[in-house]
Structure 1
Amino acid sequence: MENKPIVTCGGDQALFTSLYTPLAQQLPREPMEWRRTYGRAPKMIHLEANFVQFKEELLPKEGNKALLTFPFLHIYWTDCCDTEAYKGSVKEDMARWQNSLRLHGSVDWVIVVVETNDAKKKNKTNILPRSSIVDKIRNDFCNKQNDRCVVLSDPLKDSSRSQESWSSFLLKLRTLLLMSFTKNLGRFEDDMRTLREKRTQPGWSFCEYFMVQEELAFVFEMLQQFEDALVQYDELDALFTQYVLNFGAGDGANWLGSFCAPVRNWSGLLLRRPIDMEKRDGIQRGEASLLDLRSYLFSRQCTLLIFLQRPWEVTQRALELLHNCVQELHLLEVSVLEGALDCWVFLSCLEVLHRIEGCCDQAQLAANCSHTVGLWAYATDKLKSLGELCGLVSEKGPTSEDLNRTVDLLAGLGDERPETINSLQSPYKKLKEALSSVEAFERHYLELSHAAMEMYKDISRLRSARLVGKSLAEFYMRKGDPERAEVFLQDALKSYVSEGWSLPVTHTRRNIAECQKLLGRTEDYLQTCALLAGDANLTDEERKNSCQEILSFSSKSSDKSQKVTLGMNAFAQLTRLQFLPSTASVHSGAVLQVELSLRCLMPVPVRIQQLSASILFSLEQAGTHGRTKGAPRQANPGTVHFTQAHPSGNAVPASASTPSLELDEIQDRSPSDDSLNSTGIICKNAHLVMRRRDSGSSPDTGNCVSPPSVTVDDSAQMLKVQDVTLEPGNNTVVFTAPSGDPGTYTLRQLCATVGQVQFVLPHIYPLIQYEVYSQEPQLTVEPLSEPLLAGLPQSVRFTLLTGHYAVKKGDALQLSNSDAMPLLPSTSCRASILKCVGESPLSIQSSEKVTSISLPPTPPYHTLEFHLEVLCVIPPGPDRPPNERLTNGEVRHRPRSYSHPDTPMTAIDQRMSIDCPWSIYSTLLPLTFYIPFKTKHSLLSAGNRKYIQVCVQNVSDANFQLAELNLCEKQQASLELQSLNTKAQQVVCSKQSVFCLWEVRWKEDLPSCLQCVFSASFSPLGQHGPSFKPFLYQFQLDRVTTLYSVRAEILPATGEQQCRSGTLCGLEVCITRLTEPAEGELGEESKTDADGLRTTKLMYE
């Protein structure tokens, strides 16, 4: 658009003509700051002007608000320097010019006086100084506006004076022009605002208001303020849209009636002209249709966006416009020929694309195809709709009715526009050619479809690409080409299944089934039918039809070569598995039942000839040879609940790992009064929730797009059940599992056979295992009560886990007898067989070396228990007898007492050697006994008399009664030990002590070493009919002889008879040696001082 602000030039036209070129060139060179009203930000603009000769017809008439034809400034040019000339003609002409401006209310004018040296020379006698002429003009015409008269000196000369004059003149001209422009533009905006506020009054016309605001847009465009011009069109767009929405809500304006007229022309957008004057004239006359108004409005927006170098915004706005126009026509209930809108949208899409291609190179188009692909896809969709409408997609071709409809649609396009007549690829020619024949339509449709798909793939929008592919599949189905159709349908189904779109999955699978049936792919067809039969989105009748397809095939032939293997998840789902017993571990030969819970997805009961589960057997070392008590078998879960594999027809989550939505509320509030305008919800992690998951496949076979080929596992061992009828919903089936060989059994596959169809679950997950074990017999001994006390009869329990061994009549345990821990005979000992809940007598025969225990017959994998009493002899002392050998030749290990960290009692470890009939090796079983007493001894001296004291401390938790306390020498009786204990029996409670004392008397010399034996009998306190058991304690006393006698006496101070407190007293100690030192002691311990005194070392404790 080449409009410029109009500036009229009066006065000397020849003078102006001579200055026009430099004036037009220099005026826009320097920018001016434009300060706008209402606080809007200032802008720097370059002013241009359209200089025209002054005519009174150019002056605005009253009521004319057009800004494009409005003269913003009036200039009067003169180079008069002669007084007579000024008075004779110039002054009168200037007055006439000014009166004309005054009559039309124009106050923006300037008088330019051009001074040249040539004029001075010609009229040298009559001229006045230049200042006199300028002063006269200012006095005659400018009054108080002296700045309205400007002097331009030697404008055509190249001198510094001329340049300064030009600069001053241009600055003044720009300032006056900008002032006039701001003033008149502000007045125009006020008038426009007033007109807009009257929109609720009767008789208000949108078309009139449209022309007014567009005038403002033209002015901004004239000033190259394209952003401001675009705002004017956006405001018009929003205002019209609001009226249409109000009309749809029941609040319609009268002027909208003109836009409700039937659409007669659908030639599409025209973007190759800056201004479509034909449509603009229609809007100005109020005769434009809705499509005309929208087309013109968008063409202007497109032009301004191209000027702003924002071509990609054009495509975005175009897509919104096309969708909105379709909706607006429905809201306004405009009568449109069927297919006309499709033609208009198709032409408009291609027109926008051609316009963008005209202003961008190929590299830019390829890099920004994300902005244009929406238009390609929309054009493809509309062309397909036109093809279906005109009969160009069907196998039979168009009918006569379709041909008539095509003629009507082409007639509404009108003649081709002059701008595109010479273009071979114009939208008009493409549409006309596509509707002319089936072959041309197919060529154009496939070209557009593949172009849209490639663009979507280039920008990684695979969902959209597959949506276009699904549309292509429908096209191929209509053309009778199911093979090509299935490829696109499977591709689309992959997206729907992975993202959990339930209804599209159902619809697409139904189309795929139709393709597979036409192609004769029986196995794929039956698999899809199984998926559809379990699809809850279909009606019961449709599901039953799909199920009947499977049942019909399964009963056709008995030829095994025609067996078809399908995935089970489309037929039934495994929900729960339970083992009976729940340990999922049994011994070899035991009965183990497996209970399966299945949810049948079929709409009718289905009879299954065989339901089987294949088993993988693996031999484990632990399962064959048994495990020790310290390494128990790893427990398998007795009940397993399977994750519900969602049926194909139901809405499913895209993945179990899909993150949950993180939603947040957003509010739009008014900046003025903080009132709430709108509110909404935003997903903060949409990039995670909506991310593409095509690379990952769903683990659910039922949801697979093309179920992989399933191989039936022919295992030697299987769980089988015959003739089962699965009802719709939950079912329970019980199997008996094989348990012959010990090892681990893993369930691998589940297979349901229905005639010639096998439904197979290829992998049962999570892993399901049960264990069959063959356990070696195990014999354990444990006390009936803790702790075992040495010296007293204690009951112990023998537990025999028979394992795989069957105890026969005559089998016996051979226990090697030990002096330190003999087995006490019993006449009424019985053995309990736990699983049979019975008892049998136990025969015990004892000899000097061996005790034989005859066992009752016991089946395998039963527990045999019996109780025996044992007695651990308390060791008398440190002497150890010579080693003995057991009956099997092994050296008997004598028990060793030691202090236990957890109890104050002294512990004694005993080992019992047992020969078992099922093993050639002896079994050593440990038992730990605790001595209930701690015994200490001490030697006491009183002068020449000696005493031996024995302390017996009860360190156990039981109370005991002591009797027959005695102390004697171990070997020779050279001494007399006289007991000073008065009581024959003593009670020693828990954690208490008893002290015993004997006086030592001798006739001959006292030996230096004494070996003594302390003996007593003890019995638990409170026991009925107490039976005392012996207790011996051997000890040795060294250095019995007294070496020194010590006497000490405290003497009072000198002169005192008694010791008094506070006075110093004397201590007299007398140490007397009672025995002579040995020969070695004399030389080592004695030294003689120079005075003859002897020093002796005294060792005392």
Structure 2
Amino acid sequence: MNEAKPIVTCHGNKSLFASLHTLVSQGLPKEGCEWKRSYGRAPRTLNLEASFVPYDADILPDQEEKTLVSRPYFHIFWTDCDVEGYKQSVKDEIAEWCSALKLRNIPDWLIVVVSSEESKVKAKLLPRSSVIDKVKSDFCSKHPERCVQLTEPNKLDSKSSESWSQLFQKLRNLLLQAFDSHLNKYEGNMRTRREKRNELGWNYFSYFICQEELAFMLEMLGLKEDALIQYDELDAMFDQFVENFANGDTVKWLTHLMVPCTCWAGVSLAKPLDLDLREEVKQNNASLLQFRNYLFSRQAALLFQMGRAWEVAMRAMDYLYNTVVEMKALEIEAPSGAICCWGFLGCLEVLHACDVHKPSQLDEKFALYTANLWDFAHKKLRELGHLCSLMPGLVPSSAQLSLVVDLVAGMGLSIETIPHTDQKPVDKLRESLSSPESFKRHYLEMCEQAMGTYKYIGRYRSARMIGMELADFYMKIKEPQKAENFLLDSIKMYQQENWHHLADGTMLLLADCQRLLQEPDRFLKTSCHIACSPHLPMSDRSKYFQEAMTTLEEVTGNRTEMRASQAIFIEDISLSKVSVSLNDELTLRLDLCSNFPQNITFDKIQISIRKCTESEALDFVEHQQPQQHHQNPHSMRHRRQPSGTHIIIDKMLNFQPISKNLPSQLDFHATVEKAKGRLVSCAIACDNALQLLKRSDSAGSTHSAAAIHKEDYTTCFSQSSVTLQPGHNSLTFTAQMKEKGIFCLSQMCFSIKILDLLKPLTSPGVFFKVLSVSPEFQLKPQDMDHFISGIEQKGMLTFTSGSYRLKETSTLTFATAPHFSITSPDKSTNVTLEAMDPHESQDVPVLVFMSLKDENDLNQHSKVGKLTVKDWDQTLTKQVEFVHPFRVTQKVYTCGKQKYFQLVIHGTTKADFTLCNPSLLAPNCPDVELILLNRPDQILPINENQSMSLLWQLNSNIPILPSLDLKFSCSYLSHLDQSSHQSHHYDYVCSIHDFQTQYILSYTVSSIEEDKSCVTGEAAILDIKVKQLINVNLNEGVKLAYSVKANGTVWAIGGKSAGVFTLKDGKYNIILDVVPMQPGFLHFPVVTLHKYVHQLEDHGSDEKEPTDSDSDSTAPLQSPLKAKRTISQVSTSSASSAQLASHLVDFAPGQVYNESRSKQIHVSPCRTTSDIDISLVL
């Protein structure tokens, strides 16, 4: 039906249309047009095509004709005559043509007038005298759109293109109107027939032909999806009738389908429309299988045209299953195997058709649905094999041979099928039923194809089920080597899905397979697994236990290793200690459960001990404290896991499931469909569902799982000749630790004959630590919290043996740094120890002394003490902290030009010290005499709460003193000293420099008026005097500077507060104005003397330094009235003072003696005649 087109008749000038036929046929579908359908259905965009045929009055449809495909829908009259030709003959032809259409009640027609430029020139002579005007006037007065003019159709100019465009646009609109009119009438009649479906005499197949006509029409218009909907509606209606029939609602037209089935030919998808089969359906002669074949072939044809081959495969399973159900519901009799043949042929035909039509980019989607078809086909072929005794081990009877002949006859002839296929489905099925060898070949091919497709789409469970069937088939044909892999894959699947009963049941089949293979190693492992299975009967377990023991007696050669799996699992592991010393014994208690059905004696049971890696050791150290918090500090236990989970944790070799890591979140998208503002449907879909649902799989090899190997058992817990009884068993192991470090229990080995049952112990995670503690010693004072330098103290040396042992007496030898000693009470550097066990300690009294020599400036320091053990030839070192008993400070005092030197000695410890015989010398300057002002015989006690002060007067015979290096010495005693209470000598060295007095500074404050006290707010004079010591020989012309500073709330300084000057005759005097701001006794403003630096002397040409003459030029004050100033007239600062500060350098302490420091003056309050507000602050 995809080649059919709507029919359009053409009348008039036949040669004219023949010349334009190609242009019209090709131009009509170039542009799409929108078809707005009735009943609120969504509009469609169509590219209209038409089949243009000559007009014949006999083919005009009657009003009562119900066909859609074969009837003409539109009629066109073509003419290119001039006015004279129109009047003579064309007008009569058009009239006759219109009369014939009107007689048949056909309103869908169009008149096309083809004109040239010459005819237009002639028509301009008279108005409305052209052919097109006359045609419109004569025939189209009520419907002017039914007449169109085509200008110069064979030219390529714009006028011709525009006229063609108008023609095609009008033709498309008129065609759509015609289609819509006919379809509406047809659909109305079809709905009327459908509503009568419950009346007597209604026939489904007649209605089927009627609605299929509508599907043909929609397919002809290019609406494949709408055509498919018509077939889906017919399919659903037939299903409903069959379901109602099964529930007791019978209809007459179904009775002819209930005749015995004589033909079970499969569906044919070679042609889009099987006219012979349609005729059978139309005549109500088709059987149920034939009708279903025809209906599905039409649906498949439309889907193939839309490029949806995968949907054909998806619908095929519903088609096959539903048809079988309908056969049973209608109780249609069919020979045994007939339905299997029909289903097998249908599967292969669909698979071959989909393989031809499928797009390459939809391989996975296509395989998702074809996998079920291959599975269905192989199952039907297997049923036929059992039915006809074609399976291995069966011999066909005469009745079965006769059945094969009947089945082959009912398949029909080798009908036409999809091209480019190697073998037609009918021929393949006939060949399969012809002999057991052909059946075997085709059956294995089907199974492999189905299994491979399932694996391709990730449905490994389905593939494993087919593998079980293949394993059974190979066992029957005596090829166990091929069956073993399929059985192992099935066991993996069952174990991964926690179907332990099925897994262990399959083990029985695997044992039979391996027995035929004569592989004792693998048979031994499988037998052990069966014997220990809790899901199998005790009879089977005992049987295979005995077979395993028999195999062990018979087999010799290399040792066989296998996982202990569920044969033995651990209930509890406990260690006597978490940490143990080197060379000590460690005890381990083990509670385990044996799943063997009978007692079994192992030659040896071993538990390997493995040294931990750095990361494992770190984890052990981090978790040791929390574990000890909740457990016995000498025990580490592993609690038994639930019996239902130990199979997952520890699998036998070849049965290890493959775990798959799933993401923590899924990516999905939501779909919401609305129509006219109402929610129609909604859905969510995972974006990567195929990857998430894809099951993990191995390559199918018996060695695909990681094999377990026996570890190193050089260091291990071990017991020999151990008998385990079924159920609970308790064992105790002991081993000596000969290496230090952190260790863990790694693996258990149960050895019997040549078999080693290995069980990893990584899951319990039992760790322990072997300690190798080095010997060490501690040295602490007996009478104090710390050792004190300078005296000999009692100490206690605590020696710890660590992980070592002293069997006999051994000697400790001390070695110390200079000025530091450790001796025994008898002054010996060797100490004898008694015998010691590991981790024991022994106290040894000692005497400790640290000299004060060269340690004057340290309050606390440490010295290294070394100890050598003779038996071990090992030297131990230890830092010993000492505290200096004294802290000394010094200071120089000045009184005019006289100097005094003070030393203050502070105690730093609680211990009491007594100092005597103090002396202070200046070795490098004999002209200096130091006279002690303290009593010479004074006893001076000091401690941390009491200090001692000594004062010396410094006399000199020379005018200028150099820097002095002073050495202080004294004797001291302490009651803690163990050296026969002899005094010790203490020396302290220091130096002083730039301390000699060079200048004497004095200044006074007085009122301007004589014999009058200072008054608040009135100006006073500050008289500053600088005197150079006569006996100090200084360079003349040295520039000095003074600065005056005072609290602004107490004194206001008038004029410059700083100045530069030079001495004349060793003296200098200057008077400044100051104003007291507060009454009472006030300290003088602070005057400071500085050195003046010359580097920046020339900076600023406008600055004039104050000189001696400037200072002396200050005139004597005049009368008090003239000299009286207010506070507002006094300037407290100037820019020159700020610049001067950057040139000043301070004298060293003691070089300038200030005689006026701390002097005060009484300032009277100001006099006032007005009221004074007094605020009293409490």
| Greater shift in the superposed pair: 940-949 or 559-568 | 940-949
- Report the residue type matching 1:46 in the other structure: E
Counterpart position of 2:442: 444
Matches within 5 A, 1:579-594: 579-583=575-579, 585-588=580-583, 590-594=584-588
Deviation of the 1:347 alpha carbon:
0.6
1:910 matched to which residue of 2? 863
Q: Residues 262 and 934 of structure 1: is their aligned pair in 2 closer, same or farther, counting only changes over 3 Å?
A: farther
Task: State the AA in 2 paired with 1:862.
Answer: H
Partner of 2:389: 391
Task: Summarize deviations over 1:775-817 as a string: whole Å, max 9, x none.
Answer: 65443435688554445846545132253331424x3434479
Gaps of 5+ in 1: 117-129, 621-634, 698-702, 825-844, 879-895, 900-905, 1021-1026
1:865 corresponds to:
842
Equivalent residue for 1:233?
A: 231
For the residue of structure 1 that corresponds to 2:1020, the secondary structure is coil
Aligned-partner Cα distance in 1 for 2:280–2:636: 84
Amino acid across the alignment from 2:905: V
Does the CA contact (< 8 Å) of 1:579 and 1:639 recur in 2?
A: yes
Contact kept, 8 Å, 2:602 with 2:751, in 1: the verdict is yes
CA gap of 1:361–1:332, structure 2 versus 1, over 3 A, is same
Residues 22-68 of structure 1, C-alpha deviation per residue, up to 9 Å, x if partnerless? 6876652321555423351332211114556323995142xx53223
Q: 1:386: Cα distance to partner?
A: 1.7
| Structure 2 SS opposite 1:554 | helix
What letter matches 1:613 in structure 2?
Q
Q: In 2 relative to 1, CA 1068–616 (structure 1 residues): closer, same or farther, beyond 3 Å?
A: closer
Q: 1:979 aligns with which of 934, 943, 955?
A: 934
Q: Secondary structure at the match of 1:512?
A: helix
The separation in 2 between residues aligned to 1:277 and 1:997, in whole angstroms, is 138
Amino acid at match of 1:107: P
Q: Which residue of 2 aligns with 1:803?
A: 803
CA shift, 1:442, in A, is 1.7
Q: 1:1035 Cα shift?
A: 3.5
Spell out the pairing of 1:308-387 with structure 2 (5 A cutoff): 308=306, 311=309, 313-326=311-324, 338-355=336-353, 375-387=373-385
Counting only pairs closer than 5 Å after superposition, residues 859-1008 of structure 1 correspond to structure 2 as 859=837, 861-866=838-843, 868=845, 870=847, 872=849, 875=852, 878=854, 896=855, 899=858, 906-919=859-872, 923-938=876-891, 940=893, 942=895, 949-955=902-908, 958=910, 967-968=918-919, 977=932, 979=934, 994-998=947-951
Structure 1 Cα separation of the partners of residues 80 and 1035 of structure 2: 154
Instruction: Report which stretch shifted further, 1052-1061 or 433-442.
Output: 1052-1061
Match of 2:564 in 1: 568
**1:554 and 2:549 equivalent?**
yes
Residue 549 of structure 1, CA deviation: 0.5
> Secondary structure of 2:26's partner?
coil
Taking the TM superposition and a 5 Å limit, the aligned residue runs for 1:459-470 are 469-470=467-468
CA contact (8 A) 1:750 1:764 kept: no
> Do 2:541 and 2:597's aligned partners in 1 also have CA atoms closer than 8 Å?
no
* Aligned with 2:666 (options 646, 654, 662): 662
Which one of the candidate residues 44, 49, 60 is aligned to 2:47?
44
In 2, distance between residues paired with 1:978 and 1:152? Answer: 145
Q: What SS is found at the alignment partner of 2:27?
A: coil
Deviation at 1:393, TM superposition (A): 0.7
* 1:624-773 pair list within 5 angstroms: 645-646=648-649, 654-655=658-659, 657-660=661-664, 662=666, 670-675=674-679, 677=681, 682-686=685-689, 688-691=691-694, 693-694=696-697, 718-722=716-720, 724=722, 726=724, 733-740=731-738, 749-754=747-752, 757-761=755-759
Q: CA deviation at 1:912?
A: 3.6
Paired residue secondary structure (1:609): strand
Answer whether contact 1:934 1:954 (CA < 8 A) is retained.
Answer: yes
Report the TM-score, using the length of structure 1 for normalisation. Answer: 0.72
Structure 1 stretch 133-142 or stretch 524-533: which is displaced more?
A: 133-142
* Alpha carbons of structure 1 residues 513 and 673: separation in structure 2 relative to 1, 3 Å: farther
Match of 2:1138 in 1: none
SS at match of 2:565: helix
For the residue of structure 2 that corresponds to 1:182, the secondary structure is helix
Instruction: Report the equivalent of 1:31.
Output: 28
For residues 802 and 356 of structure 2, the distance between their equivalents in structure 1, rounded to whole angstroms, comes to: 95
Task: Report deviation, 1:3.
Answer: 4.7
Q: Aligned partners of 1:869 and 1:260: how far apart in 2?
A: 121
Larger CA deviation: 228-237 vs 339-348: 228-237
Separation in structure 2 between the aligned mates of residue 521 and residue 924 of structure 1, nearest angstrom: 67
TM-score (norm 2): 0.68
- Looking at structure 2, the residues matched to 977 and 136 of structure 1 have their Cα atoms a distance apart, in angstroms, of 156
Aligned to 2:1083: none
**What is aligned with 2:1123?**
none
1:528 aligns with 2:529: no
Would the alpha carbon gap of residues 1040 and 478 (structure 1) be closer, same or farther in structure 2, given more than 3 Å must change? closer
Offset of residue 478 of structure 1? 3.1
Distance 1:406 1:1009, change over 3 A: closer
- Aligned pairs for 1:277-288 within 5 A: 277-284=275-282
1:609 aligns with 2:602: yes
CA shift at 1:300, angstroms? 1.2
- Residues 57, 100 of structure 2: 8 Å contact kept: no
Structure 1 match to 2:969: 1013
Whole-Å Cα distance in 2 between the matches of residues 1015 and 153 of structure 1? 142
The 1-side partners of 2:340 and 2:47 are apart by 45
Residues 325 and 759 of structure 1: is their aligned pair in 2 closer, same or farther, counting only changes over 3 Å? farther
Cα separation, 2, equivalents of 1:568 and 1:198 = 75
Quote the Cα distance in structure 2 between the aligned partners of 1:911 and 1:799: 16
1 CA distance for matches of 2:80 and 2:896?
A: 162
* Alpha-carbon distance between aligned partners in 2 of 1:6 and 1:308, rounded to the nearest angstrom: 24
Cα distance between partner residues in 2 of 1:409 and 1:749 = 63
Helix, strand or coil at the partner of 1:297: helix
Question: Could you give the per-residue CA deviations for residues 968-1005 of structure 1, whole angstroms, max 9, x where no partner exists?
Answer: 468999987453699978786x6x66342456699999
Equivalent position SS for 1:275: coil
Unaligned runs of 5+ in 2: 117-127, 614-627, 629-633, 1040-1062, 1069-1090, 1092-1146, 1152-1178
- Cα-Cα RMSD: 6.2
CA pair 1086-200 structure 1, distance change in 2 beyond 3 A = farther
Structure-2 change in CA distance of 1:201 and 1:753 (3 Å): farther
SS in 2 for 1:949: strand
Q: Give the whole-Å Cα distance in 2 for the aligned partners of 1:185 and 1:203.
A: 26
**Aligned match of 2:1023:** 1066
Instruction: Name the counterpart of 2:73.
Output: 72
**Counterpart-to-counterpart distance in 2, 1:819 and 1:647:** 67
Native 8 Å contact 2:313 2:373 kept in 1: yes
User: Using the alignment, how far apart are the partners of 1:135 and 1:1094 within structure 2?
Assistant: 143
Question: Is the 8 Å Cα contact of residues 357 and 365 (structure 1) preserved in structure 2?
Answer: no
Mapped to 1, the partners of 2:1025 and 2:164 lie a distance apart of 142
Q: Deviations over 1:860-915 (max 9, x none)?
A: x132132646554562x65xxxxxxxxxxxxxxxxx4664xxxxxx1133344545
The CA distance in 2 between the partners of 1:856 and 1:234, in whole Å, is 106
The DSSP-based 3-state class of the residue aligned with 1:29 is: helix
Distance 1:155 1:659, change over 3 A: closer
Instruction: Kindly provide the amino acid, as one letter, of the partner of residue 396 in structure 1.
Output: L
1:199-238 correspondence runs (5 A): 206-237=204-235
Q: Relative to structure 1, is the Cα distance of residues 436 and 765 closer, same or farther in structure 2, using a 3 angstrom cutoff? A: same
Matched residue, 1:885: none
* 1:200/1:927 CA distance change after superposition, 3 Å: farther
Segment of structure 1 superposing worse, 709-718 or 653-662: 709-718
Q: How big is the shift at 1:526?
A: 2.9
1:377-407: per-residue Cα shift (whole Å, max 9, x none)?
5433322232123221131322445445445
Superposed CA deviations along residues 1067-1101 of structure 1, whole A, max 9, x for unmatched, are: 44555456xx8xxxx8x978999x99799999854
Structure 1 residue matching 2:918: 3-state secondary structure: strand
Secondary structure at 1:979 match in 2: coil
Query: Aligned partner of 2:28: which letter?
Result: P
